[in-house]
Amino acid sequence: MKLRRRRFLYLAAGTAALPIASPVAVLAQGAIAPAGALRIVERTQYYAKPGLAAEVLDIRRKASAVRVSIGLPAGEILVKHPGGDGSEPDVAWQCTFADLAARDADLAARAASPEFESVRVQMRKLYARFERQVFAIASL
């Protein structure tokens, strides 16, 4: 019995000494995301022209409604919180996709929609700065 315990402790100690590279650490270092089915998050951020934050929010809501009308998920709309440091966008939108193919299909559906393009044209008149980020969700 004692020998098994010693052998277990020896193996456990050896395993603990191995270098471990978590997927989060690898992605944080700018490496390419590992192959396989990864969920994708697209986030867009709108920095409104002075006095137009409410209009940006209204148009973002309209864009989400158009998404639903063309068979896409609405996504989530985020608004600036008064407790922030002031550097955050006035309005942000994000949507999670099952994989890269799902995001590509979403992009194609948006590009093919005249209604969505109309909303884009309206939005471009209201913001001073626009940013889009795409993330892969890393497992913990």
pLDDT tens profile 47-78: 999 999 999 999 999 999 999 999 999 999 99
3-state SS assignment for residue 2:
helix
What is the reported pLDDT for 84?
83
The single-letter DSSP state of residue 19 is -
In a domain? residue 66? yes
3-state SS assignment for residue 46:
strand
Query: Tell me, what CATH number does 122's domain have?
Result: 3.30.70.100
Tens digits of residue pLDDT in 20-34? 443 433 344 454 555
Q: ∠ at Cα 91 (140, 125), nearest 5°? A: 135
Residue in 90, 87, 105, 100 with CA at minimum distance from that of residue 135:
100
Q: Indicate the number of domains in the chain.
A: 1
Domain that holds residue 130: 40-136
The single residue listed with the structure tokens 């700065």 is 129
Total-model pTM: 0.72
In a domain? residue 84? yes
In a domain? residue 6? no
Which carries the bigger pLDDT value, residue 86 or residue 127? 127
In a domain? residue 19? no
In a domain? residue 31? no
Amino acid identity at 27: L
H or E segment and range at residue 55: helix 53-69
Which carries the bigger pLDDT value, residue 8 or residue 110? 110
Tens digits of residue pLDDT in 66-114? 999 999 999 999 999 988 888 999 999 999 999 999 999 999 999 999 9
